[in-house]
Amino acid sequence: MAMVKAHKEILRTNRSALVDNMSDIEAIVNHLYETRTITESMKEDILEGRSTKTEKKRALLDLLPRRGQYAFDDFFNVLIACSEYIAADRLKPGQGLAAMAADRQAGQSAPMAPQQATYVASPVEDDLPRYWPDQNYNPLFVDVLPVPNEDTNMWNKFVKSGTAGSYYCMQKNPRGRLLIINNVNFSSARNKKQLPLDDRQGSDVDATSVDMLFEKLSFKTVTKTNLTKEKIIEVLVEERQLDHDGYDCFACVILSHGTGGGVYGVDGEVANIQEITDMFNGQNCQTLVGKPKLFFIQACQGTKKDRGSAGDPEPSVSEISLKLQKLGLKDETKAGSKSQVQCETQTDSVAEENLGTRADTFVAFATTPDYLSYRNTMRGTWFVQAITYIFQKYARSEDLVSMMTKVNNLVSRGEVFGQGLKQVSIFNSSFRKKLYFFPGLKVDVSGEARPHNQMQPTNS
């Protein structure tokens, strides 16, 4: 989101005063880099690309209005942290001098580092982490909040979901089946087909966290690891042929390298995503007709790198790959460029043909067509971390589409620190109703909705 007009105007009308009153521009710029207000390349451009301090100050003031809604408050906080009180007072009259008086009264003589400063709260429109992934979030600690006992609204929705209404039925125990396909080892693709597909370190964290999440959501989970394309199809066929009458939902999570419209088997062969989802449509899987079918695809859809709306010119593939390795990140890069044209046509068909036999299908992608997704080798992918974070917190009160909109928001806040690389997840839906997971609720023999902890287990 862009900086608000009023903040831009303050920076414009106080430009000369700010240039005159900022003393240590190097410290200010370095602190703005540490708070992620500017990228490493922006920092270097200001400090190394300008010869005089005045030019550096002007370059920073030119840049700030393009750094989003939080940049104004970040700038103010950094000025306070660097003891640039007079300059800070030009941004928020009275607050800068008040901070100076408070510091002097406390006997402070040295500037505080930004992480120690008491920052003025930036305006936020939600309670999501400002940066993603949140380093305080442990993807291997999964604990879904249940529907509160006092939430009669959700209880009523749960009861109504058993009738032909506006909510998908999610009353059975278990609710549904989850199939996880986790492809990690791509040595066969490298050795036999000479494809540049690295092993997907960190993917096991994704697989484990998703498994724990859906178990908490009352799903029966199955994980398959390191499948070739043929094995992917074989496993999906077996899943399609199962009797799903005892379940209300089916979900599939695929963790792999990807290309436009497809995901790689560990042998380097590509399985088409549309063909995968069609296996479970109304014609091919009768026991899932009218039931929600969920697909979460953690894979690249191309090789482009999203630099964000205010990013620098796109660097070379080799340059970015080297820098990502230093940061402990991987891009889920596809091999070759032939299928990039396929990506454009495949995504169009996916978007326009979710009708008829393809009803009740939800497909979420880690990234937009043609672009890369990012994975931390220790903590997993941005996309899967966002899903587990959001579902744990909001499944008790919000439907799937609302939660995945939050996931998109959270993933979009991710950035390869110092490089400005971004990612945005997307989803396609042919849902006809709202899907709630109703964590903590189940139906007892009398047909009443109750929390899990108030009833004995049943076979319903």
**What residues are labeled active site?**
257, 300
Q: Three-class SS of residue 94?
A: coil
Partners of 442 in the β-ladder = 450
> How does strand 329-331 pair with strand 374-376?
antiparallel
Please report, for residues 65, 82, 97, the alpha-carbon distance to residue 87 in angstroms, rounded to integers and kept in the order given: 17, 11, 9
What residues have CB less than 8 Å from 54, skipping those under 6 apart?
Answer: 19
The Cβ of residue 122 has, within 10 Å, a number of other Cβ atoms equal to 14
